[in-house]
Amino acid sequence: MLKSAELRRNDIIRLIALGALVALEGLAVVSVALNLVLLPIGTFYPNISSASILILPVLIGALSKRMEVAIVLTALPWFILALIYTTVYAPVWNIDLYYLGTLASRVAGVAFLLGGLGAFGRMLRRIVLREARVKA
């Protein structure tokens, strides 16, 4: 019973951290895609924002217990941004088939990059946990 309660508490903490990292990645994606400065931290902001696009998906993947969750959560902010852009700024009647393919290829490249970084983080978690079990 005690082990079950502690496991649930650890899962709740992990899920809260996972949600916070996904929200931070979403802000970083919006910041980079729209060239916005969301935090006034000086001239280092572009460097921090760009690095967070690479680091946050790996951390999200490392906190995920399943590979599918790692990939979906890391690509979700970019997918939502693309969906909002397509819905609000590019109505369907303004898009022909050629432009739709061009737009999809731009979105797909970043989505695959983010998903791959999430999978990389998940694989790092498996390696670290496997090494910890071998040493124990």
- 61-101 pLDDT, tens digit per residue, is 999 999 999 999 999 998 888 788 777 776 666 666 667 67
CA distance 84 to 76: 12
How many contiguous H segments (helices) and E segments (strands) does the chain have? 4, 0
The answer to whether 62 and 121 are in contact (CB under 8 A) is yes
The answer to whether 83 and 41 are in contact (CB under 8 A) is no
Total domains present in the chain: 1
Number of residues assigned to the chain: 136
Question: Is 86 or 29 the better-scoring residue by pLDDT?
Answer: 29
The model's confidence at residue 136, banded by pLDDT at 50, 70 and 90, is low
The model's confidence at residue 22, banded by pLDDT at 50, 70 and 90, is very high
Q: What is the pLDDT of residues 92-132, one digit of tens each?
A: 666 666 676 777 777 788 889 999 999 999 999 999 988 77
Residue with tokens 């690509």, as numbered in its chain: 75
The pLDDT score that the predictor gives to residue 63 is 94
Give me the amino acid identity at 110.
V
pTM score above 0.85:
no
Nearest to 63 by CA among 132, 13, 110, 111: 13
104 is in which domain, residue-wise?
2-135
The model's confidence at residue 6, banded by pLDDT at 50, 70 and 90, is low
The pLDDT score that the predictor gives to residue 79 is 86
Secondary structure string (H, E, C) spanning the chain: CHHHHHHHHHHHHHHHHHHHHHHHHHHHHHHHHHCCCCCCCCCCHHHHHHHHHHHHHHHHHHHCCCHHHHHHHHHHHHHHHHHHHHHHCCCHHHCCHHHHHHHHHHHHHHHHHHHHHHHHHHHHHHHHHHHHHHHC
The pLDDT score that the predictor gives to residue 101 is 73
